[in-house]
Amino acid sequence: MARIVVAGAGAIGASVAYHLALRGARDVVLCDRGEVAGGSTSKAMGGVRQQFSTAAEVRLARDSIRFFEELGPPFFLQVGYVFLATTPDGLAALERRAAMQRELGVPVEEVDVPDGVRSDDVLGAFACATDGVADPPGVTRELVRRTRDLGVEVREGVDARELDRDVLVVAAGPWSAELKPELPIRPLVRQLIETGPLDLPERLPMVVETETGFHFRRRGDRLVLAMPDAEPRWGTDTTVDESVFEDRLARLAHRYPSAAGTRIENAWAGLYDMTPDAHPVIGRIADGVYAACGFSGHGFMQSPAVGRALADEIVDGRTDYDLSPYRLERFAEGATPAEAVIL
């Protein structure tokens, strides 16, 4: 079988390499210019959800949940995701999405606002109990451990372009266009903030405000907060913007009153690999070249299904999974529905 080089040892590249090995590929190299689980994976929020606005994204996430369930704690805590609506338009959007998500087999329900979360301004809440939160670097390192056990060569500090290969898999996240300039990927800076210690319930779900995108999750005895910037920060400068700290803490105190008065103990910024429609590019893009990138912040949670589908296509020349929404050619053929729930 051909020598396959997977460029990028984050969650996506590790999953592709793992599933290639499961399919019997015996000459696979997983490489990264940095280190395993570095880059965007090391800075990810770690949410795992199926509540997206387009069917294509729902399917990828839905078909990945079983893998996370099998991993279980401490890698994955199935505490659910709760989306809150505070306006009639926000509630209508949640209702439309929930109907589509249920049609695709995702168990989304209208629920009460979780204990401790402010509810007097909430018009409705929808949740999926099979969603949850995970440890992206931990999951990725576990995948790489399994991958090594299956005979894959793992090389850190190595550029894929320096390696002999018959097949290249581009899974380099926001740096993917450096390998293949035809990939329409732009890096977008996203920032996360971590509070000091708090007294938190163990089963606190990920809480998301539909209208603002403000969301938070429990990580140990702290909360991690995130929200889209008022003006998108395009580029690769991941300097922390402290000017938003006061606003984020005020939003947290409003939505989760018991956290009022907490301080910020840590903050960091990472990169999303954005495409024009916020859907990834998955599949063959040229002779001997495949892509799995452009996940627009959703790569970690969709990585199990992506790895399996792309490995099938590389090994068999086909996959039972419908990759048509993710083909590179779609950008030349006209507009496609854009994913709206980008957190």
Q: What one-character-per-residue DSSP string does 101-157 give?
A: HHHTT--EEE-PPPTTS--TT-SEEEEETT-EEE-HHHHHHHHHHHHHHTT-EEEES
Q: Residue 84 belongs to what domain range?
A: 4-333
Strands 233-234 and 186-195: antiparallel
Whether 341 is covered by a domain: the verdict is no
Lookup result for tokens 């957190």: 343
Q: For the chain, first and last CA: distance in Å?
A: 40
Asked, for residue 310, whether it belongs to a domain, the answer is yes
Q: Which residues contact 115 (CB under 8 A, 6 or more apart)?
A: 201
Cα 270 from Cα 228, distance rounded (Å): 13
Beta bridge partners of 28: 4
In a domain, 342, yes or no: no
Among candidate residues 222, 200, 195, 192, the one with its CA nearest the CA of residue 297:
192
The kind and range of the H/E element at 207 are: strand 206-209
Q: What does the alpha-carbon distance between residue 21 and residue 9 come to, in Å, rounded to a whole number?
A: 15
Which pLDDT does position 338 carry in this prediction? Answer: 72
Helices (H), the chain: 11-22, 39-42, 55-62, 65-71, 88-103, 136-149, 176-179, 245-255, 299-316, 330-333
Q: Count structural domains, the chain.
A: 1
Global pTM value:
0.94
Q: Is 193 helix (H, G, I), strand (E, B) or coil?
A: strand
CB atoms under 10 Å from CB of 246, counted, come to 10
Position 56 scores a pLDDT of 84
Q: Is residue 42 part of a domain?
A: yes
Residue 258 lies in a domain: yes
| Of 48, 57, 47, the residue nearest 101 (C-alpha) | 57
342: its two tokens: 């980008």
* Residue matched to tokens 């529905």: 337
How far apart, in whole angstroms, are the C-alpha atoms of residue 218 and residue 222? Answer: 6
Tell me how many degrees the CA angle 288-294-299 measures, rounded to the nearest 5: 105
CATH number for position 320:
3.50.50.60
Contacts of 316 (CB under 8 A, 6+ apart): none
Which single residue is written with the structure tokens 């490489």? 31
In a domain, 31, yes or no: yes
Q: What is the pLDDT of residue 1?
A: 54
pLDDT of amino acid 205: 97
* pLDDT value of position 19: 97
The first and second tokens of residue 162, run together, are: 């320096």
Task: Please write down the HEC assignment for all residues of 21-55.
Answer: HHCCCCCEEEEECCCCCCHHHHCCCCEECCCCCCH
For every one of its 343 residues, what pLDDT tens digit does the chain have, with 9 covering 90 and above?
Answer: 579 999 999 999 999 999 999 999 999 999 999 999 998 999 999 999 999 988 888 998 999 999 999 999 999 999 999 999 999 999 999 999 999 999 999 999 999 999 999 999 999 999 999 999 999 999 999 999 999 999 999 999 999 999 999 999 999 999 999 999 999 999 999 999 999 999 999 999 999 999 999 999 999 999 999 999 999 999 999 999 999 999 999 999 999 999 999 999 999 999 999 999 889 999 999 999 999 999 998 999 999 999 999 999 999 999 988 898 999 998 887 766 776 677 7
Does residue 232 belong to any structural domain of this protein? yes
Does 338 map to a domain? no
Residues 175, 254 contacting (CB under 8 angstroms): no
- State residue 54's pLDDT score: 86
CA distances in angstroms from 332 to 209, 283, 317, 329, 335, listed in the order given: 34, 16, 23, 6, 8
